[in-house]
């Protein structure tokens, strides 16, 4: 008996499979591409294969993310806000605030003592300050995404990127490169810019400790450090922050299956 959570995001799709005890048996991360349904089906199949599980052994499936309605085999769809809260609190039970920076949106979620969503604020109108923004900046600087965090930590000078638009910010970065500005200083400015874009969301919800970061951008140590400075405390970062939404969906699938029996 297995339980599946599928998180179909704008840039990536994640599938998590749990066993009856709630342990992660397997997970899979892939690009969403142009077709949400195809992405969900491929990620699901890959996670099944990785865990050596037959589809007939899956008891309940919950889909989440912006493409959740495109998964025909899901037994239930649940919002990503609820799923990220469920996953984060499962991993870090004392969590009170969740900061989720995804591919094309950002969210700050406040959870109550019982782990339920109490309030949230979301920016889904602009890609600035998201994973897509980082991809554009990495391309402009000709470095890999995995190098951005460690390299930014070597910055010795504070500079600023003032543009609130991804396109104009990219132009600023290109100009800084042309003036031979060290890449580590440019990256430091990029990460500060992202933190500045998150600040209104944090202020709207209010930061209560403990704070847990989810989403792929949480892999960037430079951004985590900037947010830590902003909130003034330790930030929990899961071992694989990108699958927290899918994990929450799988946990909800397990709960729903138990209630249905």
In contact, 138 and 145? CB cutoff 8 Å: yes
Task: Calculate the CA 240 to chain-centre distance.
Answer: 10
pLDDT recorded at residue 150: 97
Residue-wise pLDDT for 122-169, tens only, equals: 987 777 778 889 999 999 999 999 999 999 999 999 999 988 788 889
pLDDT recorded at residue 166: 85
pTM value?
0.93
CA atoms of 107 and 100, how far apart (whole Å): 5
Q: Which residues of the chain have pLDDT under 50?
A: none
Cβ neighbourhood burial of 56 (10 Å; 0-12, 13-18, 19+):
exposed
Task: Calculate the CA 234 to chain-centre distance.
Answer: 18
pLDDT recorded at residue 104: 84
Domains of the chain: 1-92+240-261 (3.30.420.40), 94-237 (3.30.420.40)
pLDDT recorded at residue 165: 83
């Amino acid at each position: 008996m297995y339980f599946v959570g599928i998180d179909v995001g704008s840039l990536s799709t994640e599938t998590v499979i749990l066993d009856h005890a709630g342990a992660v048996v397997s997970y899979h991360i892939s690009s969403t591409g142009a077709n949400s349904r195809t992405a969900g089906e491929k990620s699901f199949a890959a996670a099944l294969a990785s865990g050596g599980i037959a589809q007939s052994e899956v008891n309940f499936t919950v889909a989440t993310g912006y493409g959740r309605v495109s998964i025909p085999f899901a037994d239930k769809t649940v919002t990503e806000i609820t799923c990220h809260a469920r996953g984060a609190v499962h991993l870090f039970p004392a969590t009170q605030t969740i900061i989720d920076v995804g591919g094309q949106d950002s969210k700050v979620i406040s959870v109550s003592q019982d782990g339920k969503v109490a309030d949230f604020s979301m920016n889904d109108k602009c890609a600035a300050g998201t994973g897509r923004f980082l991809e554009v900046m990495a391309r402009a600087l000709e470095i890999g995404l995995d190098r951005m965090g460690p390299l930014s930590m070597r910055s010795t000078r504070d500079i600023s990127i003032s543009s609130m638009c991804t396109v104009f910010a990219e132009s600023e970065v290109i100009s800084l490169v042309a003036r031979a500005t060290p890449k580590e200083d440019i990256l430091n400015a990029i990460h500060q810019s992202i933190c500045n874009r998150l600040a209104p969301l944090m202020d709207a919800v209010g930061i209560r400790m403990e704070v847990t970061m989810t989403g792929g951008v949480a892999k960037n140590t430079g951004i985590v450090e900037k947010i830590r400075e902003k909130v003034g405390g330790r930030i929990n970062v899961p071992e694989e922050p990108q699958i927290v939404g899918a994990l929450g969906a799988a946990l909800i699938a397990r709960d729903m299956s138990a209630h249905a029996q």
